[in-house]
Amino acid sequence: MSVFSIEVGLAILGLFLLALEAFMPATTRRALAGISMGGVALAFLLFLWVNKSATQMPEFLQPYQQLDTLAIFYKGFALLITFLVLWLTSQCAGYLTKYTVDGRLSEMFSLPLIVCPGMMWMAGAKDLVTVFVSLELVTVSFYVLVAFTRKSALALEAGVKYLILGALSTGILVYGIAWVYGATGSLTFEGIAKALANPETVKLPVLLGAALLLAGLGFKVAAAPFHMWVPDVYQGAPIPVTTFLSVGSKAAGFVILTRVIDTFSIQGSIIAPEVHGLLLIAGALTVLLGSLPAIFQTSVKRLLAYSSISHAGYLLLALSAHGSTRLDLSSGGVVAFYLATYLPMTVLGFLVLAILRINGGGEDVTDFRGLAKRSPLLALIMTIALASLAGLPLTAGFMGKLFVFLGLVDQAAWGALGCAVIGAAAGFYYYFKTILAMYSSDVSSSSQPIPLNLWTKAGAIVLAVTIVILGVYPRPLQSMLMTAPATVSAGAH
Amino acid sequence: MSPLEIVILLPLLAALAIWLGAPARATSVGAAVINLLIVLGLVFGFQAASAGKAGFAFESARIVLDNPAITFGVGADGVALILTLLTSLVTLAAVWQIGDDKPGIYHISSLLIAAGALGAFLSTDVFFLYAFHELALIPTFLMIGLYGHGEPEHRKAVAWKTTIYLGAGSLVLLAGLMWLVLEFSGGGKLTFDLQALRAQAALTPLPVEKQAQIFFVLLLGFGTLVSLFPLHSWAAPAYATAPTPVAMLHSGVLKKFGLYGLLRIALPLLPQGAQVAWVQETLLFMLLGNILVIGLVTINQKRLDDVLANSSVMHMGYIFLGLAAGTEIALRGAVLLMFAHGVSIALLFALAGRMRNQLGTLELNKLGGLGEHAPAFTVLFAFGAFASIGLPGLANFAGEVMVFVGSFMNYGSASFGALQWAVVVSLWGVVMSAVYMLRACRNIFHGSAMTGLFMRDPALSQRLPLIMLAAVLLIVGCCPWLLLNLLKSDLAAVVAP
């Protein structure tokens, strides 16, 4: 039994459910949700069990796949977020079916099972072809998921935008890969790193390839100036899909970015200074272009979209601290840590949004008015999530930001630090705006108490407690990520 | 488990209990009373607990992270203990005077602000010292924005202004703290532990100019939180608008965090930075702005809450003067003044809150002759007002005298420098305090009563916490050594070289 068999098993289950759904009588379709969630949960447990005994990838896969700390972490991350998304989908089923053409949600339960192995596969990629194939597996499934609620015009718009820009970015990415291959003669990270560390490699073509590659990946993780699609797509897509995009897709993009940056910034790399500068500029710009427009948003869903952009900026700034040895975590480790803190707060934010939708509310800040009266628990939980997104101490969000800021201070990147501080200060405003609305006693569109079933309550409380624990006691998570390697070793096999 | 951890946790648990449905008033007052008793016990046990060692007493530490080394560590020295005592006194008074008609969020917010202040004062780790202060940010914001006085538009604007000032100030502070941590980690593991940082600072002091730069960043960060001129403009509207318990706790207790941080972190770690001419002159300029400019602004206020709010900003100038001087007497005076100011302003805000509830207005022109029917109230107000002016026999006087004398002393050089001039000029602030406070007293309590404005003394049960605060002012004013004895060796490390 290896991690690989879990990935294949999940993909097969996804295909099986896809086929099963077509022949199933309508009455038993509800079972789909159960099967897919059960499948992912089982996969997660198997994954934990497999990792207890340090297993290797099967022999024939070793040239393509590695199982380092980072890979294991992101594989677990992918399983977790897939499970949460499926859970969120089952919570939202009631209102989502109103917008689907046939009143079904079937593929919403099977496609994530295909996205998940794609993300897991990506986490361990050792070469650009594996990266590309798994990235496409994820992106193509997302084309369908984003536009799934086709009766909603916004969803259609989102789907078209995502399709066109996604295809474009894929093209740019392939073009970049081609240039990098042409200039370095290799598609594996190891080979590319070796060529980059060789001073005889011609610089300009590599630089062009690297720039195109980073631009293509920039689209995937919503880095400025390739972030324009995010607000519209996030707003139009169904809430579970938005969550998946915002957490899963972003994490997938960042695991590749981590690998790519580790390769480009290898000791003695001829393009390391340029890549470093690019990351600082792109990161600072992303933080600003994410957080400043967020100030003016009235829709919480769009606000979370912009917030997701600004978080991508902090993550890029974290990557820029490559090679900093003052922290126990490598820059990739800080990114992983940040994403781990980002998961519970974002899922929680979208969960509360979804619950409001289910109970007949809209997605605007004004719809949050009086939430503290309608459901004190939801208001408290959303407060914790928003405080964490804003980066208030004693929540998970602060620990992530602290690492990023420490990295910036350490490399004396004062300009980028200034932008990050401005972004964080703006965050106080736009996240607190929602908090104020929740506790204000103005009449909202509805003042009915919000009923919560046991599972929703339990899930929400677990996520909120996770945020607080990670903020107060981050030690276990850090030590889990501690051995994440800082660089791809150029010489070693 | 250290008793200090209980002191920090108790308000948090009480807040949680109220949120879960426990009776708000009984729970919060109960928690505040227990906390005050524990703290009094600690104050009396402090001499024994700290005998023979210079560091913290009642210490405990739990490792949170290895690198950067972050520990949830608590410990008390004299300064921390005095401010803890201040917090528990003001917290009790603040939750006690909350009316029965107010929703539970009043109690929850007050307890959260108190927990934030207590955690900040008692943490021995820079990370948690910072983190606990931020804990108070959301409740302050919500209470001003939702239950503040005045039009909804006005209070929301004030809530935003306060939050953005405090948020931005804390981010500047965070940048300064991180700079400090990185500089003092000497190329090895990063640490946020205050003792380790102090040891490192003693071992390898930074170059003077770098000390000055870091000190300045910290001064801007902490200064914003203490409403140091010209970063003060959030404070007066915030206190005038905030609901009474929040105004009491924030102006009386939480604001002291910035001063405490300078005393705890900036001065001991960067001892020479504070004495560099350009830093000291900037600080003197800023604090004179607090005393003189805000003093004049205060004189011009037409409403009691604005007078109190501005006076609270103004009085920060004296404490900064003590910190800027850096002599042992001045520093001890500054700590005493922090305590005295906290108690007196909390008392005054509590009284102003009652007046607003009963009379519906705080316009000085519309008030008058209240002393006739509310003698006890008048006496209590006079205690607060006279303490605030600096009348001998009340706590603030002792602090102010020590600050002035300590700052005027020539140490090292025999010249009459900027510091001495600053003392001379800032003495005029005392006159200004007398002008606005005495005028407020005269307008409100003397003369003939305005028609329709009539108020009685509060019931005895309502008077108790206020009497407690007034008694503290009197006791500490007559016997300041009660507190000063706690400070015996703490400040030796802080005193300017």
Pick from B12, B20, B105, B178 the residue to mutate for testing the A interface (most A CBs within 10 Å). B178
pLDDT at position A388 over 50: yes
- What's the angle, vertex CA B381, arms to CA B375 and CA B387, rounded to 5? 135
CB neighbours of B449 closer than 8 A, spacing ≥ 6?
B368, B369, B370, B372, B373
The alpha carbon of residue A308 is apart from the nearest alpha carbon of chain B, in Å, by 21
Q: What is the DSSP letter of B73?
A: E
Q: How confident is the model at residue A43 (pLDDT cuts 50, 70, 90)?
A: very high
Q: Is the residue at B224 inside a domain?
A: no
**Number of structural domains chain A divides into:** 1
Of B77, B86, B45, residue with least CA distance to B59: B77
**Closest chain A residue to the Cα of B133, Cα to Cα:** A393
Three-class secondary structure of residue B439 per DSSP: helix
Residues of B in contact with A432 (CB under 8 A): 138, 141, 163
Q: Is the residue at B360 inside a domain?
A: yes
Q: How confident is the model at residue A324 (pLDDT cuts 50, 70, 90)?
A: low
Q: Is the residue at B35 inside a domain?
A: no
**Number of structural domains chain B divides into:** 1
- Give the helix ranges, DSSP H, for A237-330: 239-243, 250-264, 272-294, 300-320
What local confidence, expressed as pLDDT, does residue B451 receive? Answer: 66
Q: pLDDT tens, A79-97?
A: 999 999 999 988 888 788 8
What local confidence, expressed as pLDDT, does residue A436 receive? Answer: 86
Range B336-355 average pLDDT: 92
pLDDT at position B111 over 70: yes
Q: How confident is the model at residue B458 (pLDDT cuts 50, 70, 90)?
A: confident
Of residues B63, B135, B175, nearest to A394 (C-beta):
B135
The DSSP string of A145-209 is HHT-STTSHHHHHHHHHHHHHHHHHHHHHHHHHHHHHHHHS--BHHHHHHHHHSTTS-HHHHHHH
B202 CA to centre of own chain: 29
**Helix, strand, coil in percent for chain B, rounding step 5:** 75, 5, 20
What local confidence, expressed as pLDDT, does residue A446 receive? Answer: 64
Q: Is the residue at B133 inside a domain?
A: no
Q: How confident is the model at residue B187 (pLDDT cuts 50, 70, 90)?
A: low
Q: Is the residue at B370 inside a domain?
A: yes
Pick from A473, A477, A479 the residue to mutate for testing the B interface (most B CBs within 10 Å). A473
Three-class secondary structure of residue A43 per DSSP: helix
Tokens for B217, please give them: 């960043």
Inter-chain contact B134–A393, Cβ cutoff 8 Å? yes
Of B341, B354, B367, residue with least CA distance to B473: B341
Range of the domain at B367: 286-497
Q: pLDDT tens, B465-497?
A: 899 999 999 999 999 888 888 887 666 666 655
**Dihedral angle of Cα A16, A21, A24, A25, to the nearest 10 degrees:** 160
What local confidence, expressed as pLDDT, does residue A491 receive? Answer: 36
Q: Is the residue at B482 inside a domain?
A: yes
Q: Is the residue at B158 inside a domain?
A: no
Q: Is the residue at A251 inside a domain?
A: no
Inter-chain contact A436–B63, Cβ cutoff 8 Å? no
Tokens for B253, please give them: 């207790």
Q: Is the residue at A106 inside a domain?
A: no
Q: pLDDT tens, B11-68?
A: 999 999 998 888 888 899 999 999 999 999 988 888 777 765 666 788 888 888 877 8
What local confidence, expressed as pLDDT, does residue A365 receive? Answer: 85
Q: Is the residue at B72 inside a domain?
A: no
Range A210-215 average pLDDT: 92
| Cα(B339)–Cα(B354) distance, integer angstroms | 23
pLDDT at position A487 over 70: no
| Cα(B330)–Cα(B406) distance, integer angstroms | 4
Q: What is the mean pLDDT of chain B?
A: 87
How many CB atoms lie under 10 A from the CB of residue A151?
Answer: 11
Q: Is the residue at A274 inside a domain?
A: no
Q: pLDDT tens, A260-281?
A: 998 888 888 888 888 999 999 9
Q: What is the pTM of this model?
A: 0.89
Range of the domain at A470: 288-493
Q: pLDDT tens, A216-233?
A: 999 989 898 888 899 999
What local confidence, expressed as pLDDT, does residue A26 receive? Answer: 65
Q: How confident is the model at residue A160 (pLDDT cuts 50, 70, 90)?
A: very high
Q: Is the residue at A228 inside a domain?
A: no
The alpha carbon of residue A395 is apart from the nearest alpha carbon of chain B, in Å, by 9
pLDDT at position B411 over 70: no
What local confidence, expressed as pLDDT, does residue A59 receive? Answer: 79
Which has the higher per-residue pLDDT, A419 or B488? Answer: A419
Q: What is the mean pLDDT of chain A?
A: 87
Range B92-115 average pLDDT: 89
Highest mean pLDDT among A144-148, A339-343, B186-190, B299-303: A339-343
Q: pLDDT tens, B227-241?
A: 998 888 898 899 989
User: Is B19's Cβ below 8 Å from some Cβ in A?
Assistant: yes
| Cα(B256)–Cα(B258) distance, integer angstroms | 5
What local confidence, expressed as pLDDT, does residue A245 receive? Answer: 92
- Please give the single-letter amino acid code of residue B28: S
| Cα(B59)–Cα(A212) distance, integer angstroms | 56
Q: Is the residue at A189 inside a domain?
A: no
The enclosing H or E element of A298 equals none
Range B326-330 average pLDDT: 85
Q: How confident is the model at residue A490 (pLDDT cuts 50, 70, 90)?
A: very low
User: Is A412's Cβ below 8 Å from some Cβ in B?
Assistant: no
What local confidence, expressed as pLDDT, does residue A441 receive? Answer: 72
Q: Is the ipTM of this complex over 0.90?
A: no
User: Is A417's Cβ below 8 Å from some Cβ in B?
Assistant: yes
Exposed/middle/buried for residue A157 (C-beta within 10 Å: 0-12, 13-18, 19+): middle
Inter-chain contact B171–A425, Cβ cutoff 8 Å? yes
Q: pLDDT tens, B52-102?
A: 566 678 888 888 887 788 888 888 888 899 999 999 999 999 999 888 888
Q: How confident is the model at residue A493 (pLDDT cuts 50, 70, 90)?
A: very low
Q: How confident is the model at residue A488 (pLDDT cuts 50, 70, 90)?
A: very low
* 8 A C-beta contact, residue A242 and residue A357: no
Q: What is the DSSP letter of A55?
A: P
What local confidence, expressed as pLDDT, does residue B336 receive? Answer: 93
Pick from B64, B129, B155 the residue to mutate for testing the A interface (most A CBs within 10 Å). B64
Q: Is the residue at A236 inside a domain?
A: no
| Cα(B223)–Cα(B317) distance, integer angstroms | 11
| Cα(B175)–Cα(A410) distance, integer angstroms | 11
| Cα(A383)–Cα(A370) distance, integer angstroms | 13
B466 CA to centre of own chain: 18
Range A202-209 average pLDDT: 90
pLDDT at position A371 over 60: yes
- Please give the single-letter amino acid code of residue B133: H
Q: pLDDT tens, A93-143?
A: 878 888 877 777 778 888 999 999 999 999 989 999 999 999 999 999 999
Of A121-125, B399-403, B450-454, where does mean pLDDT reach its minimum? B450-454
Q: How many CA atoms lie within 13 A of A464 on its CB side?
A: 20
Q: Is the residue at A474 inside a domain?
A: yes
The alpha carbon of residue A401 is apart from the nearest alpha carbon of chain B, in Å, by 11
